[in-house]
Structure 1
Amino acid sequence: MESTIIKKLGKRVRKLRKAKGLSSDKLAELIGREGSFIRRLETGRMKNIPEDIEKIAQALGVSIAELLTTPEEKKEIELEFRTDLVTILVINGVPASGFEGGDTEIIDYLPTPREMLRGLPQERVAWVKVVGDSMEPKVSRGDLVLVADGSWVEVKNGDLVIAVMDGEKTLKRFYDKGNYILLVPENESYEPLMIPKDKLKETSLYLYKVLGILKRMQ
C-alpha cells in the first residue's frame, strides 16, 4: 500500500515541479537536497515517504494534503463524506410497475442533493435517461430526470410524469379529468393521450413522478 502511495507522490511531485518550471536539481536545492533525491522520489524508488515532504510542499507552493491527493481524489473524498448528498442510480428506463423487484439496467451512479428526494428513501428514486422528445424544449433527449416510484408519492395535476401503460413508456404532463387521464406533451408535434378510467380495468397504468431535471451539457 505504501509503495503505491510513494509512486503516486512521485508522479504528483514531478507534475507540480514541471508546472512551476523547476528542474529536479533546482527543487532539490530549494529543500537542501541533492538532485538525485528528487529523481529517486519521482521515479518511486524510495521505501518510505520522505521526512522532507513539508519542505517539498512549501517549495512547490502547495499544502501537504494537496501534494498527497490529486484534485480528482480530493473531490471523491469530499463527495463520500458530504451528508447533504446521496448516491442515486442512473437507469436506462423505468420498470413496468415500481422499483421494488423491477428489472432495471444500471448505467451510472450520480451524487444527488438529498433535498431533491423530498424525504423519500433513496431506493424509491432514480435518475432516468430521456430517450424521446415529447417534452421538448423543457426536457430534451439525453437529459436526466429524477423520478420517484408512483406508489410512494402523490401525483397532482400538472406534474411531470413517466407513464408506463402496457409496457409503453412516455414522458408527459399529468392531468386527472375525472372520467379520464390526460397525458399532455410539451412538443406540439405530439398529440395528448387520453385514457378513459374505465379502460384502466383492462390495462395497466403506472406513474413515476418527476422530482428534478438535469440538462445534458451541450
Structure 2
Amino acid sequence: MCALLIGPFPANLLPPLMPIPVMGGSVSAGFPSPAEDWVEDRVDLNRRFVPHPEATFFFRVCGDSMVSPIAERSIPDKATLIVDRSREAKHDDIVVAILNDEFTVKRLYRRGNRLALIAENPAYPPIVLNEEQELSIWGVVTAWIMEPR
C-alpha cells in the first residue's frame, strides 16, 4: 500500500460548462418509490466544486489514514480530493500538507501554540509538530469524490 498522495493535477482554467440535471424531490434509500419525471434544475459541478479554478488541484488518496468510523468524515483509499490553495487553513479543516518533503492529507489541529495533523483512522497516531519540524499547508480540501466500485 502506498503512503503518499498522487498529484497535484490542476483544474482546468476554462472548464466547459456541463450542466447536469438535478431531479426534483428525493430518492428513496429504503423501499422504492415512483420516480418523478421532471428536472427541477441544472447544476454545473465545476461551478459547485471549483470556485477558484486557478488555485484548485486534484489529488488521488493512497492509503487508509483518513478512513474513519464516522462515515461523513471518512475519505477512502483512491478517493479524489478537490484542494483549494486560495483558502486559509483553519482548525479542524482537512488539509493537504507537505511534511518531510512529502504530501499528506490530514485534519489540522491548531490551538494556541499547538499544531498537529490528525488522521481520521484511529490506528494512526497524531503527528504533533515541534519547532524543528517544517510544515507547509499546501491547500484546503473542499470536497472529495469516490467511485462506488
The TM tier, using the shorter chain, reads 0.5 to 0.7
Find the aligned partners of 1:130 and 1:157 in 2 and give their Cα distance: 21
Greater length-normalized contact order (CA 8 Å, ≥ 6 residues apart): 2
The residue that corresponds to 1:140 in the other structure is 76
The residue that corresponds to 1:175 in the other structure is 109
Show structure 1 runs of 4+ deviating over 6 A.
108-111
Listed as ranges, the matches of 1:83-162 within 5 Å are: 92-94=6-8, 112-118=45-51, 120=52, 122-137=53-68, 138-149=74-85, 152-162=86-96
Find the aligned partners of 1:135 and 1:115 in 2 and give their Cα distance: 24
Q: Greater share of helix residues, 1 or 2?
A: 1
Tell me if 1:214 matches 2:145: yes
Q: Greater share of strand residues, 1 or 2?
A: 2
TM-score normalised to the size of structure 1?
A: 0.45
1:170-198 Cα distance to aligned partner (Å, 9 max, x none) = 211001122231111110110001112x3
Q: CA contact under 8 A between 1:144 and 1:216: conserved in structure 2?
A: no
Gaps of at least 5 residues in structure 2 are 19-44, 69-73
Change in CA separation of 1:174 and 1:204 when aligned onto 2, cut-off 3 Å: closer
The residue that corresponds to 1:3 in the other structure is none
Deviation of the 1:93 alpha carbon? 2.0
Find the aligned partners of 1:167 and 1:173 in 2 and give their Cα distance: 18
Greater Rg by CA: 1
1:143-189 Cα distance to aligned partner (Å, 9 max, x none) = 1110011xx21111111111112312221100112223111111011
TM-score normalised to the size of structure 2?
A: 0.63
Identity %: 25
